[in-house]
Amino acid sequence: MKTKPNGVLIYLIKKPLIITMKVFIFLFSVFTFGINTEEALSQNTIITFDSAMEISMGEVFKIIKKQTDHTFVFESNLFKNTPKIKIEKGDIKLGDLLEKCKSVTLSDFQFSESGAILFKRIPPEDVQQTITGKVTDMLGLPMFGVTVLVKGTRQGTTTNVEGEYSIKAPVNAVLVFSYIGYDNQEIMITGENTSLNVKMRENISELQEVLINTGYQKIKPEQSTGSIVTIQSKEIDTRINTTDFLTSIQNKVPGLLLNNDIEFEGKPLFQIRGISTIYGNKQPLIVVDGFPTELSLDMINPNEIASITILKDAAAATVYGARSSNGVIIIERKKAEIGKPKIRFRNTTSLTPKENYSSYRWDKNASKIITEWEKINPKSLVTDQAWDLLPTQSGDSYNLNPAVTIIAHWKSLTDPISIEERDRQLAELASYNNTNDYNQLFLRTAITKTNNLDVSGGSETAKYYVTTNYAKTQFNEVKNEQSIFRLSARTTINLAKKLSLDMTNDLNIANKVSVPIPSINNIFPYERFQDNDNNPLSIHNGSRANPYYNEFLINTGLLDNRYYPLKEIDEVREDIRSVANRVTANFRYNFSKELNVNFGGVYESSRSDNRHLAGEESVEARQYVNRYTTGTSGNLVYNIPRGGFLREQDNDSDGYTIRAQANYNKQLKKDHAFNIILGGEVREIINRSSSTAYFGYDDNTLFTLPVDYKKIVGMNPIYGRSNPEASFSQLFNQKYENNRFVSAYSNLVYSYRNKYSLTGSIRIDQSNLFGTNPKYKFKPLWSVGATWNIHKEDFMENVESINSMKLRAAYGFNGNVAKNALPQVIAVNGLNAITPNEVTPMLSLYSYANSGLRWEQTKNFNLGLDVKVMNNINMHLDYYVKKSTDILAINQIDATKGGNAALINRASILNQGYELDIDADWISRSRFNWNTGVVFSYNKSEVLDVYNPNLLENTSSRNYIAGSYADYLKGYPVGTMFSLKYAGVDNEGYAMSFDENGAAKRFFTDDQGLAELEYSGSSIPVLSAGLSNRVDIGDFYMYCMAHFYGGFKVRVPAPTIYNTTRPLEGADNYWKQAGDEADPNILPFPSNNDSQYMAYTDKYTVNGAYMTIGDLTASYSLRNSRFVKKSGISNIEIRLQASNIYTIGFNTYDFSKGTRNYEKRYMTPTYSLELNFNF
Amino acid sequence: MKQHKILLITLAFFSIFIHTSCENYLDIEPKGVRLLSTVNDYELWLESDFLQTQVPFNLTYLSDTKDITNISNEPSFGTQSLYTWQKQISEDPQATPLLWAHLYKVVYYYNVVIMGVGEATGGALQQKQSIEAEALMGRAFTYLQLVNLYGKQYNEATASTDLAVPFVTSNDLDDLTPDRSTVQEIYDQIIADLTKALPHLPENNYDNRFRGSIAGAYSILARTYLFMGNYQEADRYAQLALDNGPNVVVDYANIPNAAAIPNLKKRPDAIFARYNTGRGVPEFPTLDLLKSYNTKDQRLNLFFSNIPVFPMLGGYIFPRRGVTMYWPGGITMTGTYVYPNCGTSVAEMRLIKAEAAARANNLVEACDELDEVRKYRFPSASYVKFKSDDQETVLNEVLRDRVFEFPFHGMRWFDMRRLDAENRMPTVNRYDGEGNVIATLPAGSKKYTLQIPVQVLLYNQNWSQNPWDDE
């Protein structure tokens, strides 16, 4: 952080200094004319210089003597060794000249009545001179709010809107200029410098200057051996953050794979250096203000992040012990600076338009081709009895869709319709497509509005930073909305000379309202939502009773069982209200320069109330009532009372971490430096949840009706058999989970001449998760690392183009916690409800006894190179190998042992990869800067072992291609995809694939298992890259971020009519008669297997590589506008951003995962406008 | 110096903080889950609904009483493979091996008790022995199913070489799976376990038929000896079961509907109550089964939806498949869970005795025993006692009545096996919706002994596979 005034800087500030001096002197003269005393008269005597010169005091006296009558009195050695005085050509008043000499020579002067001028020495500390100047950034723009402090005192000020400051300071004092995100500048005041202009340098790319924050300690970069990346606030703040902070670091950190569009195991990708666990948590550990957080990431306001540090390898992360296997993300939030209150207000509005279904890859005549297909569908499940059974049968197989119902009517033996009538009815359906109506009735433009207010400031003894944030979102789905209020306060208090306290307090209140909007993919295109009089109509999906059976129910005295989407959105509403709180306090006591002790902790609590209300008229409530009604018409017994249904669920989470840590820094002689930390942590997390339910509930009277649950539990329904079950264990539920950890850790850094350093970490975690046997509770993890700062070697001295060069290597172990298993048999309480009215407590099996249970561990090796060249280009290159063993997973076991699957430590995964990160300021001028960031990551995984090595033999090919079977398969990457080798359609319309020997056969006939499949690749991108460019021109900048993902495969759904509501374009192009198979693009005749598995052929499994343009941001700052200056505002910044603008998929189908679904051809952009005010 | 003092105090604080409190701090009993430690825990373990519904519902898929009218022509998923007696239920190595996995999970439950209850706290020795005896009895009941699925039908001459299933006694996943025992070894073990359990079992279980009892162990012994073809012993143990437990048959003749049958937990004719895993799931019976019932038989009228529901479909003529259904809870659908007992019952003991008598050519006794069941199954007005003096006729009638009594109780497949071993089984066919034969189970087929699931063989590669017809 320390920067000595360097030559370049002084040179840069010299010129403006002289100009300023001139102005100052002019003004000074004007003013002093007004005060016309005798002394002033003498002082106003003009001395003329013929040319600019630098002269000693003696020479000054000579010139004055020559031009005036004054004489001089001074101690003989007073001016010995004093600096020379710079004189400009022209006239100068005597007084000014002397003032100038005074400040340069540290001597005071006085006019005696005799006209003699007396000089006397003044002690340097008493010379309080006023220093003025202007602080600018590297682009020359004035910086507002920079703290200027006289080092070692509490004397300080901040710069004004113009970046100007004025401070009194003794000569030889050091001024410290500080501003968040910038390096501190320390400049010594020499007598000569009454004006001091300073350029602040951002610490973003300062490899040498920024300390690395590991959450536990701050290490000098040249001493760090681990793979660590830090992103500063400027980079995070360049774009408008409309969602969460993660979006801002997407493809900014090599090794961090973050992608919301690609899912693995049902979750968006969010991982550091691949997947190293199967059943454990795959996400990185998140640490906020020094302590891990269990709270939702919503808690973190993206606008107040000072830096994000990512720890990737063992040397960096081992200190986090058993939770470090997936890497660690450390978030440091903005901190207060000493000075007057700084206020910043930010307003953001974002718009996301609704779906444009007309550009989807859906067949425009969907209704027609579906209804036409039903006429010829040979596999239609409708039998000639179906029509007769419709009115009396509940159950899924009788809930026929409208088109099939017409077919059934035509097929009926007892009461058939004619084929003409059938076709007329089908044509009526075919004449309508509901996409427009759906769009109009259920969707709207999504709007998010955010207001953010920060106030910060403070004195040397206490600093504060308070921020409030309110964000309100209306989602694309009608009636769905959310609001979040955040309040965060952070203070640093110096309680005593050696004792300080950091405190933070965060509050987060979120309210979310959801209303059930039917998915368009679940609705047949020919279904209408309302009739001509705008009365809501029911749709097939979700009705769980065909219209005839429904009529029977109503006639019997039961309720309408059918689903009316437009009615439901008024009847059902789910409110989720969550409140989260986080308090941290950290005391720091400095025993000495070398030793200090931290003691502190974090307490987190969150509570969320989920209130799901389904009104009396909702299908949800009606279907419950029907399912549990017994008896016959006239004698119906409503075992669930008629009325509304209310379900309430509370989730509580409380957790704390208490940490005590000693930090020891020692410089031994000149060459050896030690940095040791030793600490201990206690951590507890308690999660609770409970849910209750009410039937017969009226939200106006708040009255609820009693239910005899003994009758309900496990009841065999009579009516509405396919209606959802009111599962007692889901309606009434208590959960409690208590996890405790005790850990001790140490980290040691030894550095020799700052050239070589060695690090070592060790951590022992104990927890309650592995029962009482110490063999399972202890998990020592350790790592070692070494760094060589090559540029500090003598032989590098002459290599001027390389500013710094560092080689580092690290090796060690990280761990992962897997829960819910113990070596003993675990039982779980339950209710035995098989005998009605005699519900009794019972215990049943939760997990098997497994004496071989142990913790997972990841062996980690990392080799890295950090280079800075040409002052402006930073590069980081990393290579790593991670081998995870003893991975715990729900694995198939020998069923003879008591079941089909259990949690066991058997698997092993290898991850290897390299990463490159370049950050360059190509052009850096005072009003122009062009910065480019390139991030490139490559990760290749291989499952080295899974529980059963014999699985590869004798397996049906079907199992490898569908489902999740190949996710973890020995010898293949995580998330592997296999494909059938497509061989076209045969002369009966069946799809064919090539077998092992290249002979074509129908799908899955004479199955050869894995042998006949083609290995396609992984479903997880192997490559990811980001390219960002920012161009600053004066007060304006443009920023653009592009993302690339590659090295993976995607499956493109083949168009089909079979079993779909929204057929894709070209679905009609299927085999109809012999000979059609000659067309290579002909689709197989729609039938169960073929259509379903077409996507799993090599024809439809294609390169998934795609690129997106994530953000395009433009910003204009009005800090130099006259209007803004007049209004007392230091800055107004206007920013515009378009996100998710464009995507391109590099395959024949032009399918980019950026759109998430193949049906969708484009990405839905978000447009944001931000106004930013600084006071 | 002062600084050092403060440092020492701090370090002392650290170590106290971390070490002394550590053990207590981490030693927390998890909530919501329980480690089995007290005798009461094991009591509750035996109360689990998993054990009480332990009989595999899938057994009915093997039986010749079941009909699936909408079966696909290429039976793909598990239960359809079972229904068509495929070589393997599923070739998918990740699939759950139906039947096998379930039955061994049941065994696991009982092994947990047998291994752990001795060391449990908070109960008298007698109570522990009683709990262990119940587990032994339950495990024997389960192995009787396993040996009759994966081992050849018991044949005294070959039983000691015919391979059956492994006899697992461990509850730790880390332990090795034992090799397959022979049919004889499994039967010996079943008899030994039941004999070991008998002295400690409760005298009766009238307040909860799901729990073990002396009569329960006798009834399982009776069934065991019946399956072994040792009719004399079967008769003896059936009588012991009747003498030591309930000895009434629920009278279907004088009840308005099935809902009037007492609930299984306290059903008077249940000796050892067990549901199957599917309890209330209705089934389609074959038309042959429907037509073989006497139309007056209450077992037909109470449990098969027929005339009242679809009068237009022909009443007792049963002209169409896939219309008349078997409702385990009775056709009135009152929702009161009167499901059939798939454990042992008084009626089963009576029928065992009747069969034993018929096979011993004691035809009068056989007809009397049969009458002890049948007279409660017909309205008294239309009841005619079965009488015959032809041994084969009597035996056939007894065997037929077992089908009427236990059509979907998981009993029929085991009967089919032992009848086939006596050449009493005809070829059984399966038909698709159009009436085409899609699968055949010929007399004497090797299919009567299921193959070991491939999913299990993968882990036990030294095991030999059971032979199949096409090999």
- Within 8 A of B116 by CB-CB distance, chain A residues are 825
Q: Are strands A1166-1174 and A1101-1103 parallel, antiparallel or unpaired?
A: unpaired
Residue B323 lies in a domain: no
Whose CA is closest to A437, among A328, A351, A529, A373? A529
Structure tokens of B346? Answer: 């008084």
Q: What is the pLDDT of residues A1084-1133, one digit of tens each?
A: 988 766 788 899 999 999 999 999 998 999 999 988 777 777 777 888 99
Q: What is the pLDDT of residues A82-125, one digit of tens each?
A: 777 777 787 888 777 777 777 667 677 777 766 777 777 666 55
Pairs of residues, one from chain A and one from chain B, whose beta carbons lie less than 8 Å apart: 233
| Residue A208 reports pLDDT greater than 60 | no
Q: Does A899 touch chain B (CB under 8 A)?
A: yes
- Within 8 A of B11 by CB-CB distance, chain A residues are 662
Structure tokens of A681? Answer: 């942590």
Task: Tell me whether residues A827 and B35 touch, CB distance under 8 A.
Answer: yes
- Within 8 A of B309 by CB-CB distance, chain A residues are 392
The answer to whether B277 and B287 are in contact (CB under 8 A) is no
Structure tokens of A1006? Answer: 């004479």
- Using CB atoms, which residue from A392, A662, A904 is nearest to B173? A904
| Residue A40 reports pLDDT greater than 90 | no
> How far apart (Å, rounded) are the C-alpha atoms in residues B74 and B436?
13
> How far apart (Å, rounded) are the C-alpha atoms in residues A1015 and A1018?
9
Q: Does A383 touch chain B (CB under 8 A)?
A: yes
User: Which of the 8 DSSP states describes residue B124?
Assistant: -
DSSP string, A310-323: EE-SHHHHGGGGGG
**Residue B101 to chain A, least CA–CA distance (Å):** 5
- Closest residue, chain B, to A819 (C-alpha): B30
> How far apart (Å, rounded) are the C-alpha atoms in residues A493 and A1056?
68
> How far apart (Å, rounded) are the C-alpha atoms in residues B233 and A472?
80
A948 dihedral zone (left: phi>0; alpha: psi -120 to 50; beta): beta
DSSP string, A114-164: TSEEEEEE--GGG-EEEEEEEEEETTS-B-TT-EEEETTSS-EEE--TTSE
- Using CB atoms, which residue from B17, B35, B171 is nearest to A680? B17
Structure tokens of A123? Answer: 């002690």
Phi, psi of B354 (to 5 degrees): -60, -40
> How far apart (Å, rounded) are the C-alpha atoms in residues B58 and B277?
8
Mean of all residue pLDDT scores within chain A: 85
Residue B390 lies in a domain: yes
Q: What angle do CA A773, A892, A813 make, to 5 degrees?
A: 50
Residue A943, CA distances (Å) to A855, A887, A976 in order: 18, 11, 10
Whose CA is closest to A325, among A291, A279, A361? A279
* Domain count of the fold of chain B: 1
Structure tokens of A743? Answer: 């850990």
What's the confidence (pLDDT) of residue A207? 37
- Using CB atoms, which residue from B172, B337, B455 is nearest to A836? B337
Residue A536, CA distances (Å) to A403, A437, A526, A531, A568 in order: 20, 13, 15, 7, 9
Task: Tell me whether residues B22 and A772 touch, CB distance under 8 A.
Answer: no
What's the confidence (pLDDT) of residue B100? 95
Interface mutation target, options B33, B39, B181, B209, chain A, most CBs of A under 10 Å: B33
Q: Does A997 touch chain B (CB under 8 A)?
A: no
What's the confidence (pLDDT) of residue A30? 41
Q: What is the pLDDT of residues A871-896, one digit of tens each?
A: 889 999 999 999 998 888 777 888 99
Q: Does B454 touch chain A (CB under 8 A)?
A: yes
> How far apart (Å, rounded) are the C-alpha atoms in residues B264 and B82?
28
Residue B332 lies in a domain: no
Q: How confident is the model at residue A521 (pLDDT cuts 50, 70, 90)?
A: very high
- Using CB atoms, which residue from A718, A766, A845 is nearest to B26? A766
**Residue B391 to chain A, least CA–CA distance (Å):** 42
- Closest residue, chain B, to A710 (C-alpha): B336
The answer to whether A179 and A198 are in contact (CB under 8 A) is no
A187-191, A575-579, A1050-1054, B258-262: range with lowest mean pLDDT: A187-191
Question: Would you write out chain B's pLDDT as a tens digit for each of its 471 residues?
Answer: 455 555 555 555 555 555 545 667 776 666 667 788 899 999 999 999 999 999 999 999 999 999 988 776 665 567 888 999 999 888 877 778 889 999 999 999 999 999 999 999 888 999 999 999 999 999 999 999 999 999 999 999 999 999 999 999 988 888 889 999 999 999 999 999 999 999 999 998 888 999 999 999 999 999 999 999 999 999 999 999 999 988 899 999 888 888 888 889 999 999 999 999 988 788 899 999 999 999 889 999 888 876 545 555 556 778 788 888 898 888 775 556 688 899 999 999 999 999 999 999 999 999 999 999 999 999 988 899 999 999 999 999 999 999 999 999 999 999 999 999 999 999 999 998 888 898 999 999 999 999 999 989 989 999 999 999 875
- Within 8 A of A397 by CB-CB distance, chain B residues are 70
What's the confidence (pLDDT) of residue A773? 52
**Where do runs of H (alpha helix) occur along A450-558?**
547-556
Which A residues in the span 407-446 are in contact with B, Cβ-Cβ below 8 Å? 414
Which residue(s) pair with A264 in the sheet? A267
Residue B174 lies in a domain: yes
The domain defined by A35-122 folds into Phage tail protein beta-alpha-beta fold (3.55.50)
**Where do runs of H (alpha helix) occur along A536-656?**
547-556, 565-571, 619-627
Average pLDDT over residues A1007-1027: 91
Q: Does A78 touch chain B (CB under 8 A)?
A: no
Q: Which residue has the higher pLDDT, A613 or A220?
A: A613
**Residue A983 to chain B, least CA–CA distance (Å):** 22
> How far apart (Å, rounded) are the C-alpha atoms in residues A732 and A713?
12
Whose CA is closest to A1127, among A1175, A1058, A1062? A1175
What's the confidence (pLDDT) of residue A473? 95
Q: Does B334 touch chain A (CB under 8 A)?
A: yes
The answer to whether A957 and A1010 are in contact (CB under 8 A) is yes
Give A36: exposed, middle or buried? Use CB within 10 Å, 0-12, 13-18, 19+.
exposed
The parent domain of residue B118 ranges over 47-74+87-275+341-457
Residue B465 lies in a domain: no
DSSP string, B324-367: SEE-TT-TT--SS--PPP-SEEHHHHHHHHHHHHHHTT-HHHHH
Task: Tell me whether residues B49 and A834 touch, CB distance under 8 A.
Answer: yes
Q: Classify each residue of A123-146 as buried b or exposed e, where b means 16 or more C-beta atoms within 10 Å of its C-beta.
A: eeeebebebebbbbbbbebbbbbb
Which B residues in the span 218-277 are in contact with A, Cβ-Cβ below 8 Å? 263-265, 275
Which residue(s) pair with A965 in the sheet? none
Task: Tell me whether residues B104 and A951 touch, CB distance under 8 A.
Answer: no
Q: Does B207 touch chain A (CB under 8 A)?
A: no
Whose CA is closest to A1098, among A999, A940, A984? A984
Whose CA is closest to A354, among A444, A473, A474? A444
| Residue A26 reports pLDDT greater than 60 | no
Residue A506, CA distances (Å) to A232, A451, A455, A847, A925 in order: 22, 17, 15, 39, 41
- Using CB atoms, which residue from B6, B171, B456 is nearest to A591? B6
- Using CB atoms, which residue from B33, B49, B104 is nearest to A827? B33
Q: Are strands A446-458 and A339-352 parallel, antiparallel or unpaired?
A: antiparallel
What's the confidence (pLDDT) of residue A480? 96
Walk across the sheet containing A982-985 and list its strands: A982-985, A991-994, A1000-1002
Task: Tell me whether residues A718 and B116 touch, CB distance under 8 A.
Answer: no
The answer to whether A691 and A733 are in contact (CB under 8 A) is yes
Q: Does B465 touch chain A (CB under 8 A)?
A: no
Whole-angstrom Cα Rg for chain A:
38
Which residue(s) pair with B121 in the sheet? B38
| Residue A170 reports pLDDT greater than 60 | yes
Residue B403 lies in a domain: yes
Structure tokens of A79? Answer: 């001016």
| Residue B92: CATH number of its domain | 1.25.40.390
- Using CB atoms, which residue from B34, B166, B263 is nearest to A827? B34
From the DSSP assignment, how many helices (H) and strands (E) are in chain B? 18, 9
> How far apart (Å, rounded) are the C-alpha atoms in residues A572 and A645?
9
- Using CB atoms, which residue from B26, B48, B459 is nearest to A894? B459
What's the confidence (pLDDT) of residue B233? 96
- Closest residue, chain A, to B309 (C-alpha): A392
Q: Are strands A672-697 and A595-614 parallel, antiparallel or unpaired?
A: unpaired
Q: Which residue has the higher pLDDT, A120 or A212?
A: A212
ipTM of model over 0.95:
no
Q: What is the pLDDT of residues A406-455, one digit of tens each?
A: 988 988 888 899 999 999 999 999 999 999 999 999 999 999 999 999 99
Q: Does B37 touch chain A (CB under 8 A)?
A: no
Q: Does B127 touch chain A (CB under 8 A)?
A: no
Residue B335 lies in a domain: no
- Closest residue, chain A, to B310 (C-alpha): A389
Interface mutation target, options A597, A896, A900, A1008, chain B, most CBs of B under 10 Å: A896
What's the confidence (pLDDT) of residue A611? 96
**Residue B7 to chain A, least CA–CA distance (Å):** 8
The answer to whether A698 and A644 are in contact (CB under 8 A) is yes
Query: Within 10 A of A203 (CB to CB), how many other CB atoms are there?
Result: 22
Which A residues in the span 706-725 are in contact with B, Cβ-Cβ below 8 Å? 714-718
- Using CB atoms, which residue from A597, A848, A955 is nearest to B93? A955
Average pLDDT over residues A362-369: 91
Q: Are strands A826-832 and A71-73 parallel, antiparallel or unpaired?
A: unpaired
What's the confidence (pLDDT) of residue A39? 53
Whole-angstrom Cα Rg for chain B:
26
> How far apart (Å, rounded) are the C-alpha atoms in residues A348 and A335?
22
Q: Tell me which of 3.40.50.720, 1.10.150.120, 3.40.50.80, 2.170.130.10 is the CATH number of domain A212-336.
A: 2.170.130.10
The answer to whether A191 and A155 are in contact (CB under 8 A) is no
- Using CB atoms, which residue from B25, B44, B335 is nearest to A742? B25
- Closest residue, chain B, to A733 (C-alpha): B32
What's the confidence (pLDDT) of residue A818? 64
- Using CB atoms, which residue from A734, A766, A959 is nearest to B94? A959
Structure tokens of B349? Answer: 């003991």
One-letter amino acid for residue B247 of the chain: N
Q: What is the pLDDT of residues A802-817, one digit of tens each?
A: 888 999 999 998 887 7
Looking at chain A, which residues constitute the CATH 2.170.130.10 domain(s)?
A: 212-336
Residue B3 lies in a domain: no
What's the confidence (pLDDT) of residue A25? 45
